[in-house]
Every structure is written in C-alpha cells, then in structure tokens.
Amino acid sequence: MVDRRSLVGRRSWVLAAVLALIAVLVPTVTPPAEAQDPPAPRDITRACPISVQELRPYADAPSATHAGAIGCLSYYRLAEGRTEGSEQIFDAADGVTRGQMSSFIARTIEFLTEEEIPLTIGYEDDAGEHQTNIRKLATYEVARGFDDGTFRPDEVVTREQMATFIARALEVVLGEQLPQETVFEDIGPTHAASIGKLAAVGVVAGRSDGTFGPRQPVNRAQMSSFLARALDVAAERGVFPDLVRVVDGIPSVDGDSRPGSPGVMGVTSVRSSAHPWFDRVVFELGGTGTPGYRAEYVEQARQRSDGRLLEVGGEQIIRVVITGVADPDELPDDISPYIQARLAGQDGGDVVEVVNDRAMDGEHVFFVGTNGYSPFVVQRGADPTRVVLDVFRGFDEPLPSPPSLEIVSSFTTPLTPGQPRNTNIHLAADYIDGDVIPPGGTYSLSRGIGPRTTARGFVPNGFISGGELISAIGGGVSQMGTTFVNAAWESGIQLDQFRQHSIYFTRYPMCREATLSGTVLDVVVTNDSPYDVTIRTSYSQSQITVSFVSVPWATVSSWTGPPRNVVGGVGGAFSVSCGRTVTYPDGTSRSESFSWRYSEGYPG
C-alpha cells in the first residue's frame, strides 16, 4: 500500500519532475498491425459498494448504465447537483466543461489522498466558481491551459481530453505511471498515451463499433462512470480513505447485525454529521477487540434496566446495540466510557438525536431518532475502532413498507381475585411488558422481571420449596413463568430452559408449565426468527396474559400424552410427556419433546 503521507511530501520534486516530463514528451506510439480487442469496463464495487450504487439522489439521473456511478460520486460528495423546486437535478445529459472537470478531478485527488492541494498561478480567464480547483490542478499540471494563457473553462471536454485529466490525476494519487495498451485505431497522438493507460486499467472502454470516439463530448453521466472506475483503480492499489468500508446489500430498513471478537472495550465517544444524501452517526470505542452490532427499527425506546420508556426525538427510532463491550466499572482506567445522555443531530439532517441507554451485560444500547423510515447501513472501522451508522435520504423508488406486526402467540392463565399473589404477578407483567428479544437474542424471564424485593413493590405469598408451601417475597410469580413459556412455545422460538413445578396444578397445561426461583430456576428463550419479538402483557384480577408480537414466521403443532406410572391414585405422583413440531417458511421442521414426573397432583 502506498504511504500517502510520504507521497505528499515527495510531490514537490518527484511528481513535478515526472509530470513535467510527461508534459513535454509527445507520444510516439506506433500501433501494432492489429489493435487489441477493446477492454471491458472494470467493476467499481471496490470503491463503490452496492449500497451507494443503489442511491438515486437525482430526479433526472439515468436508471441503468451510469446510475450506480452517479450514486457513488454523490455519496463521496465528488459530484453535486442543483436544486430545482423540490427536486435535486444532476443534468446528467449535459456536457462537462473544463471548469467542471477541474472541480471533479480536484475533489477526487483530495478525497483519495486526504490532503488539500495547494494553489498555483492562474489563467487569464479562470475567474468563476471553478477557479480554485483549476488552480489546484495547475499545481500538478493535471489541467493545463492554452498557449495564449487562457484555460477556457466553459469549453466542453471531449472523451480524449477526459482521459488525460483522469490519467494524470491517477498518476498523482498513485505516485507512479500507469501501464499502457494500444487498443483503439481512431485516436490521435496528443492523448494516445492517456487513453492507452486508462484502457490498460479498465477505466475506458470503446464504443459498440470498437472505436473510441476521441472527439465526442463527454456528458456528466458518462464522466461519473469514468471517474468511479478511476476510484476503483485507486482502491485496488490500496489508496483509499480508511473510513470507507465495502458493505453487503443496499441500504435497507430491514436491520443489520454482525458479530464481534472478544476483548475489553467500551464506547468512548459518539458524534453525528449530515451529508447531502445521508446522515452519519459514529460510535467510537477504546480498548481491545472488535465490536459487534445490531441495528433495527423499533416501536419504542425502552430502557433495559427498568423497562422505562425513553423519549427520543423524531418520527422513527433505530435501536443500535454495540456488542462485546465491558461494563463501565470493568474498563481500564485509561478508557473513559461515554456517559452523555443525549446528542443532537445536525441541522437539516434526518437524524434528530441519539439517546444513550447504557452499557450492561456486554451490550451498549443507543436509540437514534430519525425524521422518517429511512434505509440505513452499518459499517465497522479501525484506527480508531468504530461502528458507523449511515441513514440515507434521496431514494426515488418507494421504500419497502415496514413488516406487518401482529400477535403471533398469546397465552392466558387464571387468577383468583383478591389474593396477594396477584400483586406480584401484575408487577412481573409490568416489568417485562415491552421488552424486545432481537433476532438471535437470548431472554431470561427472571432477569426481565428483576429482583423480587419489597423495595420494588413485591409482597409475601406462598412459594413451593422442597415440596413444601412456604411464604416468600414475590411468591406466586411462578405463574408468570408458566404463562410466558406457553406464549414462547406457541410462537415457535427456541426454548432454552424451563422446569415444571414439583406439584401439578390443574390451572396449568400438563407438562407445559414452569416455575421461577431467583436465577436458579428460570425460563430462558432464544429468538431464532429473523424478526424482533416484543413481549406484551395484560391482566385483570381474574387472569394474566402474555403475548408475543412479531412478524408471523413459523407454525407450531403440539401434543400432550396421557399421564402414566401413576402412584397413589387421584392426587398422587405421575409422569407425562409433551412436545411440539415447529415448521419453518422453507418447509423444514424441528420436533422436540419433554417429559416430567410430578410428585403429587394427579387429576384423575
């Protein structure tokens, strides 16, 4: 990889000498008897991820050949359009002037080298909006004037002139001359070397008849493709800003996730910025390891510690979860965790604010409020370690509608009015209501409810311990375990852990019920569906209901066998089995069964 800093330091003598030599030499290329086949244009995905190629920021941008390149240059702010009424216009079919070409090329060199080009002497007629960039290119002799001292910024650039602009710019960036091929028979000597160089690296290709058409004008759409291919050459050679990462797929509203690698790290800063076609939120981390992430739209911003709703500005909310982080008190002294509660977005952007929840249990949660249901992508960067959220604007095609949410499963168990245990069950319902289990996420019911203490409102009630009924703070909450495990059962998600009562109660489904005891006896599930699962609860003095709200995914069929091995008749011990088959959208299925022996309670 080229060291850009040392490259910039040498430009004043090495590149000036190289390019000055190029300037005085008149190419004396002698075409072979038979020219080579015209090259195919290069793919641009090294420099222009599919995500940015899919941007459609301009109302008049072509829909096929050059659209991806225009989206790419817009993403990197190398090409800009104009505002006409409520629309952005690119003027894709207009010819590119020498002044405009100077601005395109100067921005590209500065983008790739991450250095500002110094100014040099000007021309008699370079006054105007492109003057600064014309004078920048004069520094490296990328753009040259005419013998009469003029630059003629309003003249339209031809295909051969475009090739010389780009070839010289690439050699400045790379610090070396490009290879050269001779593939076209209709080019003159002045620009033959430049055209041959760009042909050798796939930046230019011939027309359908095999000619180059050197004196044909270049329009803004065509120029975008040539310049995007030049960016890809630089990316292939390792000369590209580190902040740019290739991402899979197009900007989407469907969410994104990626695992990380172990380490000790924490979020140390968060910053936001607004760009022409996207808003960016950067989560910077200190420490060791590679962060993972999950990002998805959610209905509410609910604090994990106590289930409290957080106010987030904007119309929609993206929840960003940075995974693999340490709790703040576990970080080394030289890492200061990010503690700011709220960060405002930039004026004019679609990101309204970023709300900090907290780092807890290896995850740091942020809620990003946006002005609309906009597509986004997430990328990771290094030096410094960071997770970057880009929220895109400017798509001219309708965005997909958010998935249709509905109650995919629900289960109700009865309560006897007036009992103290109802207070505990109602409190448990309040604590877990609105909790979200993300795709791939594991949920502990005991952790969701939290400690059963009088300070949190729980009261004494009966609790089975060692087969005996005793009084305990929070007694009766086990009924929430049964109600919850049955809602999970019917939803089709993975059941990781649950244990039945030692005594059978007829108000519960035989075999399909669960008890809770602190963190010793717990109900644990994993959401193996591709969608968020939101837990909803409702209750009265006579019943408690747990529902799972999500996108319908799997179907479930269940069975419960007859009691067997009965000892002691009615009220005695017995065994029973149950199971379910979960069928997935692709037609595959998974079956599982469970068995349990109750010490008493046989219903007869």
User: DSSP string covering 484-537, please?
Assistant: HHHHHHHHT-EEEE----SB--TTS-SSS----BTTTB--EEE--SSS-EEEEE
The predicted pLDDT at position 140 comes to: 86
Q: Residue 63 carries which DSSP code?
A: S
Residue 512, token pair as written in the block: 């399909």
The predicted pLDDT at position 543 comes to: 94
Name 421's Cβ contacts closer than 8 Å, sequence gap at least 6. Answer: 415, 461, 462, 475, 476, 477, 479
SS3 label, residue 198: helix
Nearest alpha-carbon partner for 203 in 220, 188, 174, 224: 224
Q: Judge contact between 206 and 212, C-beta under 8 A.
A: yes
Angle between helices 159-174 and 98-113 (to 10 degrees): 20
Alpha helices in 552-601 (DSSP H): none
Q: Judge contact between 281 and 389, C-beta under 8 A.
A: yes
The predicted pLDDT at position 246 comes to: 43
C-alpha 365/C-alpha 499 separation (Å) is 31
Q: What is the pTM of this model?
A: 0.46
Cα distances from 207 to residues 118, 483, 498, in angstroms, run 37, 69, 68
Name 166's Cβ contacts closer than 8 Å, sequence gap at least 6. Answer: 105, 194, 198, 203, 226, 227, 230
Structural domains in the chain plus CATH codes: 4-236 (no CATH), 256-392 (2.60.40.3500), 406-547 (no CATH)
The predicted pLDDT at position 527 comes to: 93
All residue ranges of the chain with pLDDT < 70 are 1-39, 50-51, 56, 61-64, 85-87, 242-251, 276-277, 394-403, 462-471, 518-519
Q: Residue 561 carries which DSSP code?
A: P
